[in-house]
Structures are given as C-alpha cells and as structure tokens.
A and B are shown apart, each in its own frame.
Chain A
C-alpha cells in the first residue's frame, strides 16, 4: 500500500514498527491509547541501547526531548495541545507522529485558512441527501474533529491562527464540554467525545497578531513552543534524515557529500547570525531560515542535479538553489545575499578553499541571473 501512496502518513509508513511496539508495550495506557506514553516517546525519539529493546527504533523527530514529553502528557490530560513556532520547525511532523503513535490515525486534519468555517470544525450536510431524505445522522457529514470525537482519537488542526477568531472559538466548547450538539436533529442530536479524544493544533508564531486566540481558547490549550534548531549537529541529523526520505520518495540514488552539507549548515548559521544582528526588516532575509528551508534547498539542488546535471550534487548547484530559495524580495534579499557572498564566502573560499570557491561562483551566477 505504501508504494502506491506518494506520501504515506506516519501510521502507514511506520505501521510495522508501531505494531511491534504495541506488542511489547506493558506500560499503563491512558484512555484508549494504543501505546503507553513512554512508548510514544520512544517511537518519536528513537531507542537507546539502554532501553533494552530487541530492535532499534529510529529517531523520527529531532528536537528537545522535553518538548515531546510535554506534548504527550498534555494529550493525556484534559487540555488540547498547541504547537507553536516558526515555520519549518517540525510542528506538523511532530503532530502527525503523536497522532499516529497514540491512535494510529493522523489524517483527521482540519487545515486552518481564511476560508475555514465552523462547518469544517463541526459538521455539514449532504445537500442532495437532505433534499431526498431530510436531515438525519445519515445525511450529516462529520468534520475530522467530530470523527475524532466519535472514535476517541486525536484530531488535528493545522495553522489554527490562520482561521478567523469566531471560527477558532468553535473549539472552545469542543475542548470544554467534549461534545457537539446538532440542533437540526430532534433525536440523537449530540455527539459525545469518547475517551482518548484530544486536539493537536499548530500555529505559526510569525502569524501572531493576524487572528489572535481568545483568552478562553488559550486557556484550553497547553502551549509548547518549538524553537528553530540552532545546534549544528542536530540540524545535520535532521537534514540527513529528511533528505534520505525525500530521495527514497523520488527514487533517486544520489550521494550528498558531507562537505556540501557542512557548507549549507554554515551558510545558514551565518545568515541567521546576520538576521539576528539586523536592526530592520530590510536588513534581514524574508525567509525564517528554518531547518525545513535547508531541506527544501537541498531537495531542490538534488532534483536539479539529477534531472539537469551530471547526477552529482555540486557546490554550484547548491549555491544556485540557495540563492533561488532565499531571494524572495528584490532588491532587499538579493542585496543581503550579495553581501553575504562577498563579505563572508569570498574570504572563506580564499582561506579554506575546498568547495567554497565553487560555491561562491555558483552563488554569483545565480545572483547575476536574478538581477
């Protein structure tokens, strides 16, 4: 089945691993959870030899262990979980892994947009069936959240702060009373949540101020802030992990040289440092310079090399992808990248040599092309 799906959700992708963990799990499980909290943590963060397992569980989310623990215990409590952070910090991936580990279903997702309505959170009607048979449970289309309630699962709400405030507030009663009333029906007009139901929402911290959460809703969520990864080793691990996954998905057999990965990491570290010291928005790149951004650049470079290049990843192509991905505004972003190439990369390529001179050339060409 996995082979026929472009991107299998975590519960399908790791089904075998989850089955095995479930079979050996003898810890206490809250509600209808499929795994105990410790096993959920183990599934997400991977196993260590000291865990004494017969097989190794790979780490799937790279970040502070505390964030995972806090997220798990929040889901075991009465409150919803709100993962908040900059774009590309792995919030949605963590949410998916949590849902997959806890209830084996991470697809009950509502995507928050400016067009999201209360119907998307609660329920809507199959109009033709209503005309034919009238309003009944049969003609009702439950939202993913309602389905999660009925089945005692985890519902997900992506980009909560993109939805308008009145729509967000529909969650208040769901999180408090744990039921949804259907006033259109005379009988069987309440859907109660079964044990195990909870909500994982994600919010982009850069959207703060667009549709702020009401205090009442805030109170019903525990916030876990996921910071941008700045640890170089950990970031390298994340990029390797995700890139390998992408290469598998694209069925591309291409090696990423460690020295190129190092160039990418150091470039991002430099650009982040520059962004931190900038005094105005014009002096920093529009990009959040997240780990996901790096993965995107690497993926772009790999695809480019594979289809248009010599099937090897070169520094020139990487530089081209980097400039292409980060130069969103002209002239501001281009000016910053130009300054970076000539102020940092040029001296470094003279000092250290290696792949840096080729990276510099590639960057220059890309900027010239965009200018």
Chain B
C-alpha cells in the first residue's frame, strides 16, 4: 500500500474535518487490530496504518451522523434489497437523494414508463457556456434493480413522504467539469472492462458521477477479443440510445486509478470489475443485515476515497458536490422543520464517508452555492437500455442484465416485496399507500462493530443450484442451435461439467453467470461464429438480454403526444419497438392526407432512420397518390422526445428551423432559397414563405462572390416553374429576387471574369441566370443595357471564360455565328493557342447553360478539332479534352450527345457520302444574308397587312430611329422570286421536278374546272 502511486497525503487536503479517531468508537478493537497488522506488514511506519485506521474512522464518522446515511452502489441488487428492507422498516418521511436537483419534477413521470429509462436535461440555447459545446445533454438512467428506484418508488407511492434531490444541478455539471463532461478527456478514457478482458493501467471513468459515452462500446469487449463476432446491429443501436449525452448515476463506485483496479482484479482472480464487485461485495452482502451492509459499503467507499491519487481532479469535484448536497439538506431540514431522525440520505458509498467541513446535519454553514448560468434547460424522460447504460459507464457487456436477474432471484428467495411505480393505464394518478406510523428509527440504537466479524469470516457462498445450472445449459444449447452452432446435448453436458469445474477452481460453490459464460464459450465456441451472435452474446441474452425501456404517452412532451395523436388514423402500434409499415392510398382515403403531410415534416426534422419513405416522393409540384413508410417512432423514441424540446408542434419546430437556417451567420441566398422550397413542400404557410424569400433577396444583395450561383440558378428555375404552373402570379419576393439578381450578377460579372478563384461553371451559372431570367427581369423594369455593358466590360483572361463571354456576345447579337466560327477557326489554325483549345471548348460546353441554341455549333467545333488537327497534336491533347469535359461539362454532355446524334449519320454506310452541315452551308451558292438590305421581301398575309396599314410600323421605326423604305413582296435587287426559296429546296426541285409539275398540273386543272 505504501507504494501506491500518488497516494493522497493527509497533510495536503482541503479544509476537512479532523481524521482523529473518536474516543468511544465501537470500532476501537478493529482499529487496534489493523494497526498491528500495519506494523507487521508495511514497509513504512505511517502509510498503511494511516489508510487502515482512517478507513475504520471514516466508517465510524459516517455512522455517527444523526441523519441516517444510506450508502449505495449503482446497479447493485444488494443495495436495492437493503433499501427495500430499510424503507419498510424505517418508513422515513423525507428521502434525500444524490441526483441533480433540477431533475426532481421528472420523477413523477417514471410511473408512466417502462424501465430502464433515463431522466434527461437538454439545452440547445447556451448562455454562459461556449457555443461549441452545444447542445448539452445529461442523462441519469434508472433501472429497477437499483436503490434509487426503490427510494423513488417508495416516496411516490407513500402518502406524506417527500423525496428531495440534493445534488448539483445539471448546469453545475458543466460549470464544474467542462473537460470531463462529454467533450473532453473522459470521452477517450478507457477502462479495463471496455478495453477487453485484460486490465491495464489506464484511467477509469469519472467516478465524480459523470461519464461520457464510450467511443465504441462493444469494440473492445471480450466478445471481440474472441476475434470473430461483431456486435450485432440491434445491440449497437440499443447501446447508442443515450446519444452523445453525459451520463450521471447514483453511487458510482470504482477504484480511482488503474493500478488499484488491476491489483484487485489480479488478486481477486476475476476478469473484470463487475465480476469482482459481484464476487466480493454483492454476493456476501445480498443476505447481510442492514448494519453490516452499511458498514461494509462505507468501508469500501472509504478505501477508494483514501486511495484516490492526490491530484485527482474528480475528487475536488466530488468534495464540491458533497458541500452542495449537505448545504441543500440543511436548507431543507430548516425550511420543513422535519425531524432528521425521520429522514434518510441516499448517496454513493464514496460520498457517505466524506470528510468535508460541511458534512452532516450539524456541519459548517460556509458553502455558497454558485448561481446557474442563463442557459435554458429543458427536461424530459427518454428510453434507455441495459446496453446503453453499460456503454455509457464502461461496464462489461451483460453486467446490468445479470444484476437484473440477480435482483429478481433475490426477491423470490427472500420474499421481499419491492416498491414499484404502477403504470397508470387510465391516466389517473395512482393512489398512495399510507405511511405506517410504527417506524423503527435505527439511529437511536448504538452502533455495534459488524466489520470485524465480516472481515474475519469467509464470505457466505451461494449454495449450488443444480436446477438453475441445468436450465441454463439446456437453454444455451437451444440458443446456440438457433444461431447456427452445431451444438447438441453433449455440449449441454460439457457446459454443465465445465461450469462446475470452473466455479470450483475459482473458489465458488455455485457457478456464477460469469463462470457459466466462460464454460459455454469453451465448449460451444469453435473457430468461427456461424451467424451474427457469438456465444458470449447468447449468454447475455440468456441472462435476460438487453432490455429497452419505453416512455409512456403521458410522460412524453406535447409535441410527441401530438404526433402520436395525429398519426392515430394510420391504425399502427407506433409505441412498439419494431418498425411499423404504413400504407397510404391518398386517392382512396383522402382523409389520410394530413398524416402524409406530418410524415413528410417528420422526415425533414428527424434522423433518416426514424421515418423513412419506401414508396412515394414529394418535390415541388409533385405529390404521390400512394405512399408507403417505415416508421420507427417507438424504436427511436429519443429522437422524437428531443424534438419535443424545440417546440409544441412539429410545424412550429419546422418553422423555427427554417427561420434559423436563413438567419444563421453562414446563410447564403442558396440556403434561403432551399428554405423557401422546404416551406412550400412541407408547410402551407405563404406568410412564412414570403418572409424566407425576402430574406433570400437580402442575402443575395449582400453576397460578394458567386460561389453559390449554380445552386441559386438551379433553385430559382425550379421555383419559377413551380409558381408558373401552380399560382396565378409570381409572389413579390420572387420578382424582387429576379430584379435584384439581374442587377447583382450584372455588377459582378466583370469582376468574376477576372477572379482566379471563380471557375467557368460559376461564370456560366451567372450568365445562365442573366439570360434565362432576362425576359422576366426586363418585364419587371430592368434595363438590358446593364447586361450589355457588363458583357462589354468583361475581359476574361482564361480561355474557358473567354469562350463564355463570346457566347454571351453572340446571344446579345454583338457577334454573329459566322464571326464566332471564324474566331474558332483561327484558334485551331494557330499552333500557339492549340494547347488551350480544350479550355475554350469547355467554355463553349458550359455556355450551353445560358445558350442552349449553341449546341450545333459546339458539336461543329469538336468535330472540326478532330478533323483538322494532326495526330501528333491531337493524341496528346485528347486526354486533356476528356478530363476537361468530364470534370467541367458533366451536366451538359447529354445535350451535346443528343445534338451529335442529330448531326452525324446514323448508319455506317452513310458516312462516306456524308457532308457536314457546316461545310454544305459554306459551299452553298446562295447563302441567305439575313441582315442584308437586298434580301427579298417574303410575301403572305402578314406582309399584305403591314403594307396596307403602314402607320404603326412607321411610328415604331421613328421611335427607334430607323430610316427605311417600303418594298413590295418579291422585290429584290439580286434575284427573282426564286431567291425566296432556300437553296436546298431549289436544288431538290431542280433535281426532281416531276412532283412539282404534277402538283401544278393538278392545281391548274382544278382552277380550270
């Protein structure tokens, strides 16, 4: 003991009460005996003696406190049994419990729940904590086989009994322990149990009462040490029920440093801490009388406390908590005037032997409770599971199920009636039993030394229960067979024999579940696991398996209740743990439409696995008439409950989230448009949509880059299509967005063309917005000159953007197709710019966004490149072209390929005679010149009308400053009426005149008649 690293020096403690022995201690004889032992065995004069006598003094100190202290350990059936016995015997009026005081109102809700559940405090709006910590969540799991549940159930089911939670608030959990509370070092702590079967000198999780979730609870379990089985999916899901919450539990009792735990495990010849506890504390104490129980628990608490390393941060927090708890107890005693002999204080054994100055109902009044932060905490009950508790607090897999089985067995054997909260089926408050007036206050009895006897005598071992072991053997073989093992009766016999042999070797008469598990693994497990579950997991199932709690309807937050109510027409058992399949035929049953709407909203708000559409979609302007859903609201109840912390109805939460999204610091116009889209999809709330849209306009105007331009373009086009198809007019915000966007992107265009960070796609999206929204923008009062000037001012330096600007100039009529073609031909002919030709090409491909009509030209360009470039240039250039097209033109390629399909011959035989259309045009004799003044005037009713009534045309011409003269149809300086016809048609008629002659003959004949 003297060599214990970092043992606390009594000389350096914080102000605490004296450790000196109390003169008339009943433990005097034991103290003397231990001092003698210390002198004999220790290498130093003080170290061991200090610890041993100090432990006895601690026990004495705790027992002398007039307010009865009940030391407990978490998930300990022995504690729960002793508590049940003691409560029936003493019938206390007030119970003080080591649990966060602000969780008090939740205790009432336990009667609506199926255990295990966890009391939860949740805060997403932080004030006083760094925002990076959020959301903060604390859970306190409650199981039936625990002393705290017995105390709570007694208090809630007995009249005139009060239960008072006295521990620091959840807010203080984070105030005092910012590093250990989930985000910091305890999250990476490992424990011997969590790290496999081999104990090591690592740190143990916070015995200060908090534990962050283990990073991968089952990954290092003994099961995985077997090297074959992965934890099955269901187990992993159940183990994650607490999410990222920080866990707190009553009576966390475990050695504070790895070496001590390792030492205890090695000397105790056990695998892990839970087994040690079961063998050396739980089993001997389960039948012990109350005094022995108290003294032994206090002794263990003292042992771990005295062997806490000197600089342990958690000890300082523990002492702070003890001051807090005793201060609260004294406040309550003073306020209520209750006699302290009628009270009982339930706390972890570690705290029962505290030596802080504030300890005791007569302790010092020196502690000032610090105020909470302004963080708004929300409270609720969430489902928990044994595996979640094991994962959270680093217990070996199966520990809590074994504790539950031990509890049930002990209840049957001892005949003790435990306290239970009855579930209120009718919604009525359960009636409370009357408190018996004949209570037995034990504090008046003198304390007698039970420790000496307990420590000196061998533990009372459980007798061998053959029927129980036989039952286990038969059952494990059945389970193994079901899970693919080739197990038989011979294996059952072998497991039976091996269990007994193992138990004997370990000094037990009755094989414990741990012995049995080892025996089953030895005899049944072979070199591989046939299905998902290995034998260890099967043993866990055998001993009760994982149990998942359920929060009753009445304890759910209003939002969750509302969801259940509104989904009731589906007729499904949504509270069940299994997935429920909902089929909605909205044409046959239109009354289910509200359910469908709600499901889509839930799908938007909850994690994807909670509500999952199997069939059916919802997009802007598209709704399914039949839908099919997988609903896991029972299985993932925590998600729904935590959603309930955000608001009273789903719609309110959705609205809140959408507003938060558009007002977030990093919000952009694209996110705002997404929010608009979501509001149209999920909420029928035009006012909200308008607000979100207005925000989008402001966000767009404030943007200084075009990073989101492709997204904005995609969304605004979709919204435009939706509004045109579904609503009589465009909403105001949309019109504003278009006009603001037109001006905004016109302004930015010259800058982004030069900006190296802006890619071709972004510029293409900007041009896409400007040209596809142009008509609308102009009709709303925008000026096209702005766009023309913007394009004129744009002088890009990269080939891709240059190509885009050329395309824009073409669209604006400033560059004809023939000029564009000429420029590109020049590029192809210039060996210096040839290497950058793919970038030009990429720019033209992107230009299909604003100018889809350029598709034939782009096909022509690519074809020309392939036709004209020599192989020595083409082949090295080809990969670049492909990569450029793949990276930058993915979305445009289908359009390009369609166009190429139209251009190129479909059959191989046609290839030889095929002349590209651009070459045919070039070789044509009479290419029409559209803008020539000599162009023939086409005849027809329109021309006739305009010639008959020229006034309006003259007026427009005057307005535009055009001067011209009227010509009659067919009037041309260059050619006769035939020039009106396109050269292809003329050539066709010249080659095959028979049809035309026949038609003319027919017409003449008809006219003659």
Q: Residues on A close to B: CB < 8 A?
A: 37-38, 41, 48, 50, 64-66, 69-70, 72-74, 76-79, 84, 203, 205, 208, 213, 215, 218-219, 222-225, 227, 229, 231-234
Contact of A224 among B198, B501, B522, B528 (CB under 8 A): B522
Given the known interface contacts A64-B197, A76-B501, the answer about A223 and B267 at a Cβ–Cβ threshold of 8 Å is no
Q: Does B227 contact A (CB under 8 A)?
A: yes
Given the known interface contacts A74-B498, A208-B527, A219-B486, the answer about A64 and B505 at a Cβ–Cβ threshold of 8 Å is no
Which of the four size classes fits the interface of chain B?
20 to 34
Q: How far is the CB of B511 from chain A (nearest CB, A)?
A: 11
- What is the predominant secondary structure among interface residues of chain A facing chain B? helix
Chain B residues lying within 8 Å of A70, measured Cβ to Cβ, are 498, 502, 518-519, 521-522
Given the known interface contacts A41-B505, A64-B197, A79-B494, the answer about A74 and B522 at a Cβ–Cβ threshold of 8 Å is yes
Q: Which A residue's beta carbon lies closest to that of B525?
A: A223
Chain A residues lying within 8 Å of B527, measured Cβ to Cβ, are 84, 203, 205, 208, 213, 218, 223, 225
Report yes or no: B201 in contact with A233, Cβ–Cβ below 8 A.
yes
26 intermolecular pairs with C-beta atoms under 8 Å apart: A37-B501, A37-B505, A65-B269, A66-B197, A69-B505, A69-B518, A70-B519, A70-B521, A70-B522, A78-B494, A79-B494, A203-B527, A205-B227, A205-B527, A208-B527, A213-B527, A218-B527, A222-B498, A222-B522, A223-B522, A223-B525, A224-B522, A227-B225, A227-B226, A231-B198, A233-B200
Report yes or no: A219 in contact with B505, Cβ–Cβ below 8 A.
no
Q: How far is the CB of A30 from chain B (nearest CB, A)?
A: 8
Given the known interface contacts A231-B200, A233-B200, the answer about A77 and B226 at a Cβ–Cβ threshold of 8 Å is no
Report yes or no: A64 in contact with B271, Cβ–Cβ below 8 A.
yes
Report yes or no: B498 in contact with A73, Cβ–Cβ below 8 A.
yes
Q: Does B497 contact A (CB under 8 A)?
A: yes
**Other contacts beyond A77-B497, A224-B522: 10, CB < 8 A:** A41-B505, A69-B502, A69-B505, A70-B518, A72-B505, A218-B527, A222-B494, A222-B523, A223-B522, A227-B225
List the 5 shortest-distance A-B pairs measured between CB atoms, nearest first: A73-B501, A70-B522, A222-B522, A50-B267, A37-B505
Q: How far is the CB of B465 from chain A (nearest CB, A)?
A: 19
Q: How far is the CB of B770 from chain A (nearest CB, A)?
A: 47
- Roughly how many angstroms separate A72 CA and B519 CA in the complex, as a whole number? 12
B491, B498, B505, B523 interface centre (most CB from chain A within 10 Å)? B505
Chain B residues lying within 8 Å of A69, measured Cβ to Cβ, are 502, 505-506, 518
Chain B residues lying within 8 Å of A213, measured Cβ to Cβ, are 527
Q: Does B490 contact A (CB under 8 A)?
A: yes
- Roughly how many angstroms separate A256 CA and B189 CA in the complex, as a whole number? 32
Q: Does B526 contact A (CB under 8 A)?
A: yes
Report yes or no: A64 in contact with B526, Cβ–Cβ below 8 A.
no
- Roughly how many angstroms separate A203 CA and B526 CA in the complex, as a whole number? 12
Which chain B residues (474-504) contact chain A, with CB distance < 8 Å? 486, 488, 490-491, 494, 497-498, 501-502, 504
Q: How far is the CB of B519 from chain A (nearest CB, A)?
A: 8
Given the known interface contacts A41-B505, A77-B498, the answer about A215 and B522 at a Cβ–Cβ threshold of 8 Å is no
Q: Which A residue's beta carbon lies closest to that of B226?
A: A225
Report yes or no: B501 in contact with A219, Cβ–Cβ below 8 A.
no
B197, B522, B528 interface centre (most CB from chain A within 10 Å)? B522
Q: Does B266 contact A (CB under 8 A)?
A: yes
Report yes or no: B518 in contact with A66, Cβ–Cβ below 8 A.
yes
Q: Which B residue's beta carbon lies closest to that of A234?
A: B198
Report yes or no: B198 in contact with A48, Cβ–Cβ below 8 A.
no
Report yes or no: B486 in contact with A215, Cβ–Cβ below 8 A.
yes
Chain A residues lying within 8 Å of B501, measured Cβ to Cβ, are 37, 73, 76-77
A77, A79, A84 interface centre (most CB from chain B within 10 Å)? A77
Report yes or no: A218 in contact with B505, Cβ–Cβ below 8 A.
no
Q: Which A residue's beta carbon lies closest to that of B228?
A: A225
- Roughly how many angstroms separate A222 CA and B494 CA in the complex, as a whole number? 10
Q: Residues on B close to A: CB < 8 A?
A: 197-198, 200-201, 225-227, 266-267, 269, 271, 486, 488, 490-491, 494, 497-498, 501-502, 504-506, 518-519, 521-523, 525-528
Q: How far is the CB of A29 from chain B (nearest CB, A)?
A: 12
Chain A residues lying within 8 Å of B227, measured Cβ to Cβ, are 205, 225, 227
Contact of A219 among B201, B490, B497, B528 (CB under 8 A): B490
Chain B residues lying within 8 Å of A224, measured Cβ to Cβ, are 522
Q: Which B residue's beta carbon lies closest to that of A215?
A: B486
- Roughly how many angstroms separate A50 CA and B519 CA in the complex, as a whole number? 26
Q: How far is the CB of A31 from chain B (nearest CB, A)?
A: 13
Q: Which B residue's beta carbon lies closest to that of A72?
A: B505
Q: How far is the CB of B458 from chain A (nearest CB, A)?
A: 14
- Roughly how many angstroms separate A84 CA and B491 CA in the complex, as a whole number? 19
Report yes or no: B494 in contact with A64, Cβ–Cβ below 8 A.
no
Q: Which B residue's beta carbon lies closest to that of A68?
A: B505
Q: How far is the CB of B175 from chain A (nearest CB, A)?
A: 35
Chain A residues lying within 8 Å of B491, measured Cβ to Cβ, are 219
- Roughly how many angstroms separate A203 CA and B528 CA in the complex, as a whole number? 13
Given the known interface contacts A79-B523, A225-B227, the answer about A73 and B505 at a Cβ–Cβ threshold of 8 Å is yes
Q: How far is the CB of A76 from chain B (nearest CB, A)?
A: 6
Q: How far is the CB of B47 from chain A (nearest CB, A)?
A: 17
Q: How far is the CB of A83 from chain B (nearest CB, A)?
A: 11
Report yes or no: A73 in contact with B197, Cβ–Cβ below 8 A.
no
Chain B residues lying within 8 Å of A215, measured Cβ to Cβ, are 486
- Roughly how many angstroms separate A234 CA and B525 CA in the complex, as a whole number? 26
- Roughly how many angstroms separate A151 CA and B821 CA in the complex, as a whole number? 101
Chain A residues lying within 8 Å of B528, measured Cβ to Cβ, are 208
Chain B residues lying within 8 Å of A222, measured Cβ to Cβ, are 494, 498, 522-523
Chain B residues lying within 8 Å of A203, measured Cβ to Cβ, are 527
Q: How far is the CB of A100 from chain B (nearest CB, A)?
A: 19
Chain A residues lying within 8 Å of B521, measured Cβ to Cβ, are 70
- Roughly how many angstroms separate A276 CA and B502 CA in the complex, as a whole number? 34
Chain B residues lying within 8 Å of A41, measured Cβ to Cβ, are 505
Report yes or no: B522 in contact with A48, Cβ–Cβ below 8 A.
no
Chain A residues lying within 8 Å of B519, measured Cβ to Cβ, are 70, 73
Chain B residues lying within 8 Å of A218, measured Cβ to Cβ, are 486, 526-527
Q: How far is the CB of A41 from chain B (nearest CB, A)?
A: 7
B198, B266, B488, B504 interface centre (most CB from chain A within 10 Å)? B198
Q: Which B residue's beta carbon lies closest to that of A67?
A: B197
- Roughly how many angstroms separate A208 CA and B506 CA in the complex, as a whole number? 33
Given the known interface contacts A72-B505, A77-B501, A231-B198, the answer about A66 and B271 at a Cβ–Cβ threshold of 8 Å is yes
- Roughly how many angstroms separate A149 CA and B647 CA in the complex, as a whole number? 77
Q: Which A residue's beta carbon lies closest to that of B500?
A: A73
Chain A residues lying within 8 Å of B505, measured Cβ to Cβ, are 37-38, 41, 69, 72-73
Report yes or no: B271 in contact with A65, Cβ–Cβ below 8 A.
yes
Q: Which B residue's beta carbon lies closest to that of A64?
A: B197
Chain B residues lying within 8 Å of A79, measured Cβ to Cβ, are 494, 523
- Roughly how many angstroms separate A250 CA and B40 CA in the complex, as a whole number? 42
Q: How far is the CB of B455 from chain A (nearest CB, A)?
A: 14
Chain B residues lying within 8 Å of A231, measured Cβ to Cβ, are 198, 200
Report yes or no: A48 in contact with B266, Cβ–Cβ below 8 A.
yes
Q: Which B residue's beta carbon lies closest to that of A86?
A: B227
Report yes or no: B522 in contact with A73, Cβ–Cβ below 8 A.
yes
Q: How far is the CB of B720 from chain A (nearest CB, A)?
A: 47
- Roughly how many angstroms separate A23 CA and B490 CA in the complex, as a whole number? 36
Chain A residues lying within 8 Å of B494, measured Cβ to Cβ, are 77-79, 222
- Roughly how many angstroms separate A84 CA and B197 CA in the complex, as a whole number? 17
Q: Which B residue's beta carbon lies closest to that of A75?
A: B501
A64, A66, A74 interface centre (most CB from chain B within 10 Å)? A66
B197, B498, B527 interface centre (most CB from chain A within 10 Å)? B527
Contact of A48 among B267, B490, B498 (CB under 8 A): B267
A48, A222, A233 interface centre (most CB from chain B within 10 Å)? A222
Chain B residues lying within 8 Å of A50, measured Cβ to Cβ, are 267
Chain A residues lying within 8 Å of B486, measured Cβ to Cβ, are 215, 218-219
Q: Which B residue's beta carbon lies closest to that of A161?
A: B527
Chain B residues lying within 8 Å of A37, measured Cβ to Cβ, are 501, 504-505
- Roughly how many angstroms separate A224 CA and B226 CA in the complex, as a whole number? 9
Q: How far is the CB of B219 from chain A (nearest CB, A)?
A: 11
Chain A residues lying within 8 Å of B526, measured Cβ to Cβ, are 218, 223
Q: Which A residue's beta carbon lies closest to that of B528?
A: A208
Q: How far is the CB of A262 from chain B (nearest CB, A)?
A: 15
